[in-house]
Chain A
Amino acid sequence: MNLIACHECDLVNRIPPLPRRAAARCVRCGGVLLRSKPDSVDRTIALTLAGIVLFLVACSFPFLSMENAGIVQETALFTGIYNLYKQKMVPLATLVLITCVLVPLAQMLGLLYVMIPLKRNRPARHTARVFRIYLHLKPWGLMEVYLIGILVALVKLGKMATIVPGLSVIAFGLLVFVLAGAYTALDPHLVWERLGG
């Protein structure tokens, strides 16, 4: 038996061992307390490694190209950020850089730092701190929102010119799903239990 206080209404719930793929909800407010996740560590590592590869592809190939009257103009993932910076919109450029590039990268590296030693049952130093930072970064990774932004921009410019999506956009789109998968596979409760306590 596990005692967990619901972080949404503070009711203390008793939780029996969960069957595979089950979730325990708070009896009072319905908030999810715990979810059992099969092969959590292996799946999280695999998906995060895939994420790193996709991230590198997204950074190094053409993002979107615009074709108009025979002239092709290519952009990279960072072109928009750089142009905002040149237009003296430094806070805006920084915000986009943080939410769409730095946070997802930090999350993937942090997750690997925590999970790979955990798999060998030898947690790395500062694991608790790194994992807490990872959890706090979660709301600030906004890649999936950026993906919708790409779609809107494509429709907006589609009438003026032909837009050709590059390899980078495809990698970026896949990355959104792979990261969502890694987060779904991750079982924070398991990590904390392995760290003792």
Chain B
Amino acid sequence: MSAKQLGLVGCHDCHLLSRQQRLASGQAAYCPRCGATLHLRKPNSIARTWALLTAAFIFYIPANVLPITVTSSLGSKQSDTIMSGVIYFLLHGSPEIAVVIFTASIFIPICKLVVMAYLLVSVQRNSRWRPRDRTQLYRVVEGIGRWSMVDIYVVTILVALVKLGFFADIEAGPAALYFAAVVVISMLAAQSFDPRLIWDAMEEKHE
């Protein structure tokens, strides 16, 4: 039996089980042990996650089209997008770095958006297909999202080392900002999704 069916609410923060209370609108219940606001499920989980996911997808476009770094050396300026950086590494003998950047900056973000969208659709259609695997999918997607930030940190370090340099000067391009927004917003999207919704569909049929 789930806690919901037993009339219990598990606290998000300290996992204490409390009895579900009847609340008037505008009222909230608090966990007696840790003081967190109690929700049966994360509030507006589906709408919030869709909204954040859409925002992340919109930012994903300028993040890939605009330059992420602008290198100027001896009067010439060169703009690099995320993808042109990957190609540069591939051609100049560091395929392993090309793989790291491609995975972290292009593959993981788009995978995350697609998987989250799939999970939302499956929950909205009350899918009963492989709930355990879908939960696992959610865990993976939630866990790997943070690694996308690696490109932002690379830019930060490049900017530190090459600034005031003698042969080149690197500046962060506008895509860095959009890309950081994609990572932060999609992390928020993963956090606002409630995996228990996957399992609620399994219980409805039994009743």
Binding site for B on A (CB under 8 A): 3-5, 7-12, 28-31, 63-64, 66, 68-69, 71, 73, 75, 79-81, 83-84, 87, 89, 91-92, 95-96, 99-100, 128-129, 131-132, 135-136, 139, 142, 145-146, 148-150, 152-153, 155-157, 159-160, 163, 188-189, 192, 195-197
- A-B CB proximity, top 8 nearest: A149-B153, A197-B33, A80-B160, A5-B10, A5-B3, A80-B156, A153-B157, A79-B160
Instruction: List A contacts of B4 (CB < 8 A).
Output: 10
What does DSSP make chain B's interface, helix, strand, loop or mixed? Answer: helix
Question: Cα distance A80–B154 when bound, in Å?
Answer: 10
B21 at the interface (CB under 8 A from A): no
B3 contacts A96, C-beta separation under 8 Å? no
- Given A4-B15, A83-B159, the answer on whether A9 and B198 have CB atoms closer than 8 Å is yes
A84 contacts B199, C-beta separation under 8 Å? no
- Given A9-B135, A29-B135, A96-B153, the answer on whether A89 and B172 have CB atoms closer than 8 Å is yes
In the complex, the chain B residue whose C-beta lies closest to that of A195 is: B33
B35 contacts A132, C-beta separation under 8 Å? yes
Question: Cα distance A48–B39 when bound, in Å?
Answer: 32
The smallest C-beta distance from A98 to any residue of chain B, in angstroms, reads: 10
B66 at the interface (CB under 8 A from A): no
A11 contacts B2, C-beta separation under 8 Å? yes
A80 contacts B159, C-beta separation under 8 Å? yes
Instruction: List B contacts of A139 (CB < 8 A).
Output: 146, 187, 191
B152 contacts A75, C-beta separation under 8 Å? no
- Given A12-B6, A96-B153, A160-B167, the answer on whether A83 and B136 have CB atoms closer than 8 Å is no
B177 contacts A92, C-beta separation under 8 Å? yes
Question: Cα distance A189–B15 when bound, in Å?
Answer: 8
Question: Cα distance A3–B1 when bound, in Å?
Answer: 12
B154 contacts A149, C-beta separation under 8 Å? yes
Instruction: List B contacts of A64 (CB < 8 A).
Output: 157, 160-161
The smallest C-beta distance from A30 to any residue of chain B, in angstroms, reads: 6
- Given A9-B195, A12-B8, A66-B161, the answer on whether A96 and B15 have CB atoms closer than 8 Å is no
Instruction: List B contacts of A99 (CB < 8 A).
Output: 149
Instruction: List B contacts of A100 (CB < 8 A).
Output: 153
Could you give 19 example pairs across A and B, Cβ below 8 Å? A9-B135, A11-B1, A64-B157, A73-B165, A79-B160, A79-B163, A84-B172, A87-B171, A89-B176, A91-B177, A132-B36, A136-B13, A139-B146, A152-B100, A157-B161, A192-B15, A192-B16, A195-B34, A196-B33
B17 at the interface (CB under 8 A from A): yes
